[in-house]
Amino acid sequence: MALDTLDFAVILVLTVAILAYIVKTNFFSEPKSTGFLSADALAGNNLLDVIKKNNKNAVIFYGSQTGTAEDYASKLSKELSARFGLKTMTVDFSDYDLTNFDSISEDTLCFFLMATYGEGEPTDNANEFCEWLENDADTLSTLKFTVFGLGNSTYELYNAVGKKLDQQFEEKGAERFADYGEGDDGKGTLDEDFLTWKDNLFESLKNNLNLEEHELTYEPGLRLEESDFLTLADDNVSHGEPDKTYITGSGDLSKGPFDHSHPYLSPIKYTKELFNSKDRSCVHLEFDLSGSNLRYSTGDHVAIWPSNSNENILTFAKAFGLEDKLDTVFELVALDLTISIPFPTPISYGAVLRHHLEITGPVSRQFLLSIAGFAPDASSKKEVARIGNDKKAFAEEITHKSLNIADALLVISDGKPWSSVPFEFIIESISHLQPRYYSISSSSLTEKTTINVTAVVEAEKVGSQLVTGVVTNLLKNIEIEQNKTGEKPVVTYDLSGPRGKFSKFKLPIHVRKSTFKLPTNPSTPVILVGPGTGVAPLRGFVRERVNQKQNGTSVGETVLFYGCRRSDEDFLYKDEWPQYAKTLGSSFEIHTAFSRETEKKVYVQHKILEQSSKINKLLESGAFIYVCGDASRMARDVQASFAKILSQERGISEEKAGDLLRSYKTQNRYQEDVW
């Protein structure tokens, strides 16, 4: 059938419309902010226009997944402003339209704080910018830049994003005004590495750009105004709801999209303690998605939104003399249009401490130095400056004792509250609570509307200090309450949530897509390695294959390596594996390593070596390898075992075997989900 002129015209109009839609939605698509920028700053949010309109000459960009790079960016921005009089702003790539970034003015200094996530990938908020730089950017001859990478050396592609960005900027003709630097979370030196880079950066600003340095003083970017008339009883006051829609109740909260700026408040329908131990705990939870349009696929991660424990909130309030103010309501005013208000306001002090600030993690030396000016008396000021300026003293007296902010300050001041610290300083200097990620341990094929999580509870005594993880203890509290076990939790939480919205066991969650996926062809054999909670997504994989087999699909071999301390203490899902074996038959094998049952410790990497010939045969027949769990040593030791097997079984050098494994990784035949 021939097309006439009218047909062509219609096709042309449709094509143009579709192309326009694709360009609009895909290329530096509409910004999605987690913060609350003022309407003026967002109106026409082209970055270069915003820089010009707000008369800025220093921009600190951050690629952040867990909030660390964002936190560093905010601190650097304040320090550059206070020390060098630069007119600074921080930029989340996903907040701005960056289409004409290549025309940035030579008068703007650009600082890039770039975290590397997973297998050498950019963070979600920097992904589009990195793709643009790689594929579409032309010359960047007017860009003046410096880069600091945040990474973890236990991953093979250490600081890949920071390094690549630094190199690409140079290749595109940009001018580096201070050397590249990088920090290593794997060695626990990230803070110190950042401080070293910052010292060098300041030297470059003074020596190369002739900027004059002044003494550091705190200049607030926000003004807090306590309300004379608003109370917690008012409808528009935030009690710590995850976002504004949960305060106003506007729209259908069961319909997404759900993401890092808007979670789904999911019921938890079932919980169970998985360990058989007096002092260690691991919780299995089932989130019920039915009635919502939140979906996941096997291997994805679920992010659980945290809140702080009652005990930690009280200690923090005591350290800053805030005990009587927890119910007082305030508003925040941005003193600069480019500064975002980090959470919905009006809000109470108590809600900020419970739902928005990371009050328990380790303290940084930088933080102690910045708070010194607000010390409650001369001797505390001297003491905080002593510890803040001495790396060794800081390590011995703060880090090794695992003191958090409140505990450290109370030790330094001998119990006196730091009441003169402005709350604006606290909001601007302390990291904001971030969701914690968990590898989903269910299969979307078997349980479409249920997300399973397997979380080991973080709680230990360091000297007299009780150190607790935020989310895992919250999950344990839920398990105790739901099952009415009568157990006494290590720390307690308000499980009813803001305005009772979390009552009957609910928590805010969202799903993050992952690349950790089973082969598309179910008959491909898989080798699964997951000691401890590393078994979480692998349980999902096995359940998926059981489902496929039950539905008549031909399923390839599934060989699982699992490790823990003792078979009768922390063997996760011990009763389930025999049931899976019943369905999968001889195509399923589980090899276990119980490290504390024999004189010589046995780990999964040893069990893998015991199966050398079988593993080689499976790999020859196209098997995929999946490794999940501890990133610090396990992943590397397991990879070394596979390299040894390939070398021995195929008579090739270990170096060549290593290259082969790397090529498996690029073909997605060797996948890791490690943290």
Q: Which of 439, 441, 442, 514 is catalytic?
A: 439
Q: Pick from 387, 456, 480, 546 the residue near ligand FAD by CB under 6 A.
A: 456
Minimum CB separation from ligand FAD for residue 299, in Å? 11
Question: Least distance (Å) from ligand FAD to the CB of residue 471?
Answer: 4
503 token code pair: 């009552």
Query: Beta strand 506-512 with 264-273: parallel, antiparallel or unpaired?
Result: antiparallel
Host H or E run for residue 273: strand 264-273
Q: Which stretch binds ligand FAD (CB under 6 A): 13-21, 252-260, 433-441, 488-496?
A: 433-441
Are 86 and 109 in contact by the 8 Å Cβ rule? The answer is yes
Say if residue 9 carries a ligand binding annotation: no
C-alpha 563/C-alpha 607 separation (Å) is 9
Q: What does the block give as tokens for 183? A: 């920090």
The residue (of 115 and 130) whose beta carbon lies closer to ligand FAD is 115
231: Cβ contacts below 8 Å, ≥ 6 apart: 237, 327, 329
Choices 127-135, 468-476, 554-562, 588-596; region in contact with ligand FAD by CB under 6 A: 468-476
Query: Quick one: 169 or 367, whose CB is closer to ligand FAD?
Result: 367
- Give the nearer residue to ligand FAD in terms of CB position, either 31 or 361: 361
Q: Which residue is nearest to ligand FAD (CB)?
A: 469
Which x/- pattern over 336-365 shows residues binding ligand FAD (rule: CB under 6 A)? ------------------------xxx---
Dihedral over alpha carbons 613, 616, 621, 623 (to 10 degrees): 120
CA triple 246-249-253, angle to 5 deg = 75
Gyration radius from the chain CA atoms: 27
Angle, CA of 194, 197 and 202, to the nearest 5°: 120
Residue of the chain from 308, 468, 477, 558 that contacts ligand FAD (CB under 6 A):
468
Strand partners, 288: 450
Name 478's Cβ contacts closer than 8 Å, sequence gap at least 6. 268, 271, 283, 285, 495, 505, 507
Q: Of 224 and 369, which CB lies nearer to ligand FAD in the complex structure?
A: 369
Tokens 């794997």 found at = 186
Closest CA to 439 of 235, 594, 303, 251: 303
CB 611: neighbour CB atoms within 10 A? 18
Q: How many residues bind ligand FAD (CB under 6 A)?
A: 25
How many Å is the maximal CA-CA distance in the chain? 91
524 labeled binding residue: no
DSSP string over 487-547: PPPSS---TT-GGGTTTTTEEEEEEE--S----SSTTS-EEEE--GGGGHHHHHHHHHHHH
Catalytic residue check, 407: no
Of the two residues 220 and 362, which places its CB atom closer to ligand FAD in the complex?
A: 362
Residues in region 521-550 near ligand FAD by CB under 6 A: 533, 536
Are residues 322 and 352 in contact, defined by beta-carbon separation less than 8 angstroms? no
From 94, 364, 628, 641, active-site residue: 628
299 binds ligand FAD (CB under 6 A): no
635 near ligand FAD, judged by CB under 6 A: no
Reading the block at residue 631, the tokens are 């990133």
How many other C-beta atoms can be found within 10 angstroms of the C-beta atom of residue 88?
A: 25
CB 246 within 8 Å of CB 236: no
Q: Measure the CA–CA gap between 352 and 307, rounded to whole angstroms.
A: 10
Residues in 391-420 that interact with ligand FAD by CB under 6 A = 402-404
Which residue in 125, 266, 472, 639 binds ligand FAD (CB under 6 A)? 472
Among positive and negative, which fits the CA dihedral 434, 329, 363, 410? negative
Kindly state whether residue 68 participates in binding ligand FAD, applying the rule CB under 6 A.
Answer: no
Residue 663: active-site member: no
Residue 535 CB, nearest approach to ligand FAD (Å): 9
User: Site for ligand FAD (CB under 6 A): which residue of 150, 174, 451, 455?
Assistant: 455
Residue 277 or 583: the one with the smaller Cβ distance to ligand FAD is 277
Candidates 439, 452, 639, 641; binder of ligand FAD (CB under 6 A) is 439
Does residue 361 sit in helix, strand or coil?
Answer: coil
Q: Shortest approach of ligand FAD to residue 472 CB, angstroms? A: 3
Catalytic one among 197, 305, 418, 675?
675
Asked whether position 436 contacts ligand FAD by CB under 6 A, the answer is yes
Q: According to the binding rule CB under 6 A, does residue 470 interact with ligand FAD?
A: yes
Contact between 627 and ligand FAD (CB under 6 A)? Answer: no
Does 596 carry a binding-site annotation?
Answer: yes
By CB under 6 A, name the one of 437, 493, 505, 626 that touches ligand FAD. 437
The token duo for 76 is 């650097």
Instruction: Indicate the residue among 346 and 629 with the shorter CB distance to ligand FAD.
Output: 629
Report the C-alpha gap between 55 and 58 in whole angstroms: 10
The Cβ of residue 399 has, within 10 Å, a number of other Cβ atoms equal to 17
What is the contact mask toward ligand FAD in residues 126 to 165, using x (rule: CB under 6 A)? Answer: ----------------------------------------
Q: How far is the CB of 127 from ligand FAD (least distance, A)?
A: 16
Give least dist CB 386 to ligand FAD, A: 20
Q: Do 369 and 192 form a contact (C-beta atoms < 8 A)?
A: no
The amino acid at 603:
Y
Distance CA 563, CA 433 (A): 32
Q: Does 471 bind ligand FAD (CB under 6 A)?
A: yes
Q: Which is nearer to ligand FAD, 221 or 497 (CB)?
A: 497
**Of the ranges 67-75, 186-194, 384-392, 470-478, which one interacts with ligand FAD (CB under 6 A)?**
470-478
Residue 673 is among the residues annotated as catalytic for this protein: yes
| Annotated catalytic residue 166 | no
Query: Contact, 84 vs 205, CB < 8 A?
Result: yes
Minimum CB distance to ligand FAD smaller for 123 or for 611: 123
Q: Check: CB of residue 454 under 8 Å from CB of residue 284.
A: yes
Strand partners, 350: none
**Does residue 470 have a known ligand-binding role?**
yes
Q: Confirm whether residue 118 is marked as ligand binding.
A: yes
Closer residue to ligand FAD, CB minimum distance, 376 or 435: 435
Distance CA 606, CA 204 (A): 50
- Residues marked active site are found at 439, 628, 673, 675
Specify binding-site residues for NADP(+). Answer: 280, 533, 595-596, 601-605, 637
Residues of the shown chain interacting with ligand FAD in the complex, contacts defined by CB under 6 A: 301, 306, 360-362, 402-404, 436-439, 454-456, 458, 467-472, 533, 536, 675
Specify binding-site residues for FAD. Answer: 436-439, 454-456, 469-472, 675
Specify binding-site residues for FMN. Answer: 64-69, 115-118, 150-159, 185
